[in-house]
Copies of this chain bind each other. A is one copy, B any other.
Amino acid sequence: MDIKKDIAEEVVKDRIHKLQESMRAANVDGFLLTQNIDLYYYTGSMQNGYAFIPSHGEPVFFVKRSLERARLESGVAVKELGAFRMFGESLAKQFPLVFTGRADRKAVIAADLDVMPALTYLKLSELLQAAGAGSLIDGSAIIRRQRMIKSPFEISRFEAAAAVVDESLREALNYLKPGVTELEWMAHVEFELRKRGHIGLMRMRGYNQEIATGMFIAGSAAAVPTYFDGPAGGLGLGATSPQSVSRRAIERNEPILMDIGCCIDGYVIDQTRTAVIGELPEKLSHAYAVSEAIIREAEQGMVEGSICSNLYGRALEQAGEAGLSAHFMGYGADQARFLGHGIGLEIDEWPVLAKGFDVPLEAGMVIAVEPKFTFPCEGVVGIENSYLITDGRPRALTFTREGLIKLP
């Protein structure tokens, strides 16, 4: 089989060592990984199974299917999972120091409880407790914190994805004409993205959150609020797809929001540009200019040590100074409360530039910054770039020409 390791074994080992350091600092004896993306990040494979990482020593990826493929992809030892009901015993046997090695207390096992289904949690808890562990605790914050800092390989994947978005957008702009529906135009964009290697999925960690390849929304349809936790919604294709593209035809002189992402080798990029066929009303071009001013200011502020919540706070101030507070990141009750979000294997990674997210920026973080303004019945304008935080100025990973895109 023509299957290679995506991630070098040394990289997997390094990630495991860092996880083990965090586990020891948190008095966690073992970590049980169950979700696709978590498995991939720490083993190099997302075959079906569970990976167990002890706080000291070598991890094991217990695989149900495909064992053969996991052996080719994984940078850690792979064993057959076997019967699920025996999994607690297998763990206790494989990791005696974790499960039965101490007399003073039960083993503290963390897991990705933010994504693991409750039924899986209940079944695994029973097995692990029978094997000598205490209640499973949530370790997702440990994972999400570690994943904030990207490696050079990961950054190269964002760069590849940014190039795909730029080329695809340029190709698809040839089809952006009055009368074309949002759906039709998005089909062109997605065709271009897919040909260039988009995996066809955009992964989100949040429960119930989903997105195809972005939001391509124009005029009044763009300003319709949705359940999606983002600054722009969209009329969508009915109650089963209540966001993003609709069958509404694009008209002249209305804002066209092109929030486009794609996933190359697992890594998602996020970029927004605003276009118009003709001219935008003065109020909307002004708001667009404010969104560019906010992103320029964010670029100044996104240096190591800056506090995420302060960057959001400064953007709120700028929106207020421009008289646009009520329109910033959605309108009224449906405003999203952030300026930007981490991206990576998932679109909703850490850090978040939001109130309450009081952590300092560090070199290696990758953040999509997306100041946008919503005007009910008129549309949404704004801009979004994805940035790498460095030890100096942030480096933009997205590079499509900025400014309002005016089509004749």
Q: Which residues of A are interface residues toward B (Cβ below 8 A)? A: 1-3, 5-7, 34-36, 40, 44-48, 65-69, 73, 111, 113-122, 136, 138, 140, 183-184, 186-188, 190-191, 194-195, 197, 199-201, 203, 207-208, 210, 212-213, 220-221, 224-227, 229, 233, 235, 237-242, 244-245, 247-248, 263, 265-266, 333-334, 345
Q: Which residue of B lies closest to A200 (CB)?
A: B212
* Contact partner, A195, options B6, B120, B187, B207, Cβ 8 Å: B187
Q: How many copies does the complex hold?
A: 2
Task: Tell me if A239 and B194 are in contact (CB < 8 A).
Answer: no
Given contacts A117-B114, A120-B207, contact A68 B334 (CB under 8 A): yes
- Measured between beta carbons, the chain B residues less than 8 angstroms from A201 are 210, 212, 241
* Contact partner, A265, options B199, B233, B237, B334, Cβ 8 Å: B237
* Contact partner, A191, options B2, B121, B187, B224, Cβ 8 Å: B187
- Measured between beta carbons, the chain B residues less than 8 angstroms from A140 are 119
- Measured between beta carbons, the chain B residues less than 8 angstroms from A69 are 224-227, 242
Interface centre among A35, A44, A65, A220 (most CB of B within 10 A): A65
Q: Beyond A5-B239, A186-B194, list 7 extra A-B contacts (CB 8 Å).
A: A46-B227, A115-B117, A118-B136, A118-B138, A183-B197, A187-B194, A201-B241
Q: Which residue of B lies closest to A334 (CB)?
A: B66
- The smallest C-beta distance from A136 to any residue of chain B, in angstroms, reads 8
> What separation, in Å, do the CA atoms of A266 and B236 have in the docked complex?
12
Task: Tell me if A227 and B191 are in contact (CB < 8 A).
Answer: no
Task: Tell me if A40 and B239 are in contact (CB < 8 A).
Answer: yes
* Contact partner, A48, options B46, B227, B266, Cβ 8 Å: B227
> What separation, in Å, do the CA atoms of A102 and B210 have in the docked complex?
40
Interface centre among A120, A194, A201, A235 (most CB of B within 10 A): A194
- The smallest C-beta distance from A87 to any residue of chain B, in angstroms, reads 15
* Contact partner, A113, options B7, B119, B244, Cβ 8 Å: B119
> What separation, in Å, do the CA atoms of A207 and B112 have in the docked complex?
13
- Measured between beta carbons, the chain B residues less than 8 angstroms from A119 are 113-114, 138, 140
Task: Tell me if B237 and A44 are in contact (CB < 8 A).
Answer: no
Given contacts A191-B191, A224-B3, contact A265 B240 (CB under 8 A): yes
Given contacts A138-B119, A187-B191, A225-B66, contact A239 B113 (CB under 8 A): no
Q: Which residue of B lies closest to A116 (CB)?
A: B118
